[in-house]
Amino acid sequence: MWRPDPESRHELRYHDGQQWTEHVSDRGTGSIDPIETSPSVRAAHDHGPGGWTPAIGSSSALWGNRAWQPEAPRTGVSGAKVVAITIACSLAALLLGIGIGVAGTSDKTGVTAIGDTSTSVATSSLPVVPTFATTVLTTAAPNTPPPPTQPPTAAATKPKTYQQAFAAQGEREKRTETFALTSSTSRLVYSAGDGGTAIYVLEEGRSLEKGGGSPEVSCLGVCKDQTQLAKPPGRYYVEVNSTTTWSLAIEELR
């Protein structure tokens, strides 16, 4: 039977039940390589208990957890003699087959056939080299779902800031020209000298004298500040009643 090579030179070496032979195998290919292990170690490998497998590359053998002690070397037929005997037996069987064929032909042509004589020829067949089939396993790629589509990144939105829509300055009373507001969020930025000041932001076409109204800003003395305007988009003008100098600006968020 085939077992791991105790010489560690090949994958397998054939053991004929009594001793190791020169028949070796590597990856399913048989060849001849005489064993060179020392007689005492080879005897230990040859005559271990049934089912024992020698350790590769080791000069000792283990049976279970106990060290196997090698027996005295035994004499036996060498591998070269086995091959010579096998060849001789094969030639004898070939000659016997030729003789039987000739005898059968002579029987058909009137010549007395050779009697049926059973001849037993002991042959020793060579060990069958095990064949290692190589199976290539192909791993199919898993059905990985495609990555989710990322939504398009919106362009960075520019933050809104207050921008000036109208500006004016003067002294005492004044009515300005009209201007447009396009945003619903706006503010009045103003300053005035020492005195009294009232600032109105009115819709175009509306008269303070006729309709009246409340000022967006009313201050006494020096003042400088800003205030939000609650005005929808549209056209407006500013009317200032003051006893001093002043300046103002209308800014909207856009």
Percent of the chain scoring above 70 in pLDDT: 60
What's the chain's average pLDDT? 73
- Tell me what pLDDT residue 84 has: 72
For residues 157 and 174, the model is more confident at 174
- Can you tell me the distance from the alpha carbon of 32 to that of 23, in angstroms, rounded to the nearest whole number? 5
Beta bridge pairs of residue 197: 219, 242
Alpha carbon distance 186, 173 (integer Å):
23
Q: Per-residue pLDDT for 40 more than 60?
A: no
Question: Is residue 48's pLDDT more than 60?
Answer: no
Query: Residue 126: is its pLDDT beyond 80?
Result: no
Question: What's the N-to-C CA distance of the chain in angstroms?
Answer: 95
pLDDT 10s digits, 53-82: 444 443 333 333 333 333 333 444 555 666
Q: Beta strand 245-253 with 162-171: parallel, antiparallel or unpaired?
A: antiparallel
List the chain domain ranges. 1-62+69-134, 162-253
Angle formed at CA 86 by CA 82 and CA 92, multiple of 5 degrees: 145
| % of the chain with per-residue pLDDT over 90 | 35
In the predicted structure, residue 245 carries a pLDDT above the cut 60: yes
Q: Which residues of 161-185 are buried (b: 16+ CB within 10 A; e: fewer)?
A: ebeebbebeeeeeeebeebebebee
Q: What is the pTM of this model?
A: 0.39
- Classify 162-253 by CATH class: mainly beta
